[in-house]
Amino acid sequence: MKAVVWGVLSTARIGVEKVIPAMQRSPWVEVRGIASRALPAAQTAARRLGIPRAYGSYEALIADPDIEAIYNPLPNHLHVPLTLAAAAAGKHVLCEKPIALSADEARTLREAAGRVRIAEAFMVRHHPQWQRVRELLRSGRIGTPRIVQAAFSYFNDDPANIRNQADLAGAGALYDIGCYAIVTARHVFEAEPLRAVALVDRDPALRVDRSTSGLLDFGAGRQLSFSVSMQSCPHQRVTVLGTHGRIEVVIPFNAPQGAATQIRIDDGGALDGSGITVETLPQADQYQRLVEDFSRNVRGESAPFWGLDDAIAQMAVIDALWRSERSGAWERV
């Protein structure tokens, strides 16, 4: 397969430290350009990463006729405007999560997509550990899955950090990490939730949701309960409870690049853990797999792909949780 030529919007940390190096390890990806609002910043990143072209504006990169696909890791409030601009220029776009600030905003991408591919960059679904979880569930290993419990937290109360800037739409814990709990439950149940209720704690000075918990009702007795926090000790874990056992994903979201991961399968026979079987998954880079799968789809090859319908459904859940914060009640998704 001929490599897809990529350009990267911004010198964001996740791109420079995680995604771009992963892209460069793939024979199906060529990172040819990187853009920043300040040309020196783009040039510095380009030299550091060995990228041939640097641009002093996002628009200049988007206008480059050699660029086929765009990776958009810009701040959340810029995801839709720059994705729309790239799509209008005929570029395929892999956009960081959340793809938009609401389901309605995400729908504008579908209307503009035309013949290009646009997807939300949830790398977790491309990791072998989550593919293995789905295999185990489909095989009936733990019976019928009933409950997903998810926790994700870190500590960051820096007012200068974009996640803590309430004046910029898209800040806070739900947008930043709550989305992972939601997408993994949708992955587990292979269904969409019907209703949602939220408990939100906002930092009195920063005004962002520093901690958010939620319940999602997937119908037929299936539910997600999750808690995420930007002002708690670092932790992450997902447990899937079934009628005959449970599966625990040890590092569900930030699976280490180039290292093995583990899932624990409990047959439910004893509370002391004696019924647990540990499966070790070989090392994998979920960022590399994400971009490779997207690139293969661009070339018309068969590969896992979740497009705009999936992204809109994801945003509809977040919308319902925000409505629940305001109403104090269950809200339909």
Q: Please tell me whether residue 269 adopts helix, strand or coil conformation.
A: coil
**Every domain of the chain and the residues it spans:** 4-122+289-306, 124-284+315-332
Helix, strand and coil in the chain, % to nearest 5: 35, 30, 35
- The mean pLDDT of 46-66, rounded to a whole number, is 98
List CB contacts of 59: < 8 A, sequence separation 6 or more.
Answer: 85
User: What is the pairing mode between strands 231-242 and 145-155?
Assistant: antiparallel
User: Is the predicted pLDDT of residue 80 greater than 90, yes or no?
Assistant: yes
- Whether the per-residue pLDDT at 258 is higher than 90: the answer is no
Flag whether pLDDT at 88 surpasses 90: yes
CA-based nearest residue to 312, from 110, 66, 174: 110
pLDDT at 174 over 90: yes
Q: Which residues of 27-58 are buried (b: 16+ CB within 10 A; e: fewer)?
A: ebbbbbbbbbeeeebbbbbbeebebebbbbeb
Calpha distance 203→214 (Å, rounded): 18
The class of domain 124-284+315-332 in CATH terms is alpha beta
Cα distance between residue 71 and residue 53, in whole Å: 15
The pLDDT value given to residue 113? 83
Is the pLDDT at 303 greater than 90, yes or no?
no
- The pLDDT confidence band at residue 112, using thresholds 50, 70 and 90, is confident
pLDDT digits (tens, 9 = 90+) for 178-237: 999 999 999 999 999 999 999 999 999 999 999 999 999 999 999 999 999 999 999 999
Q: Is the pTM of this model over 0.85?
A: yes
Hey, is 152 helix, strand or coil?
strand
Query: In the CATH scheme, what architecture does the domain 4-122+289-306 have?
Result: 3-Layer(aba) Sandwich (3.40)
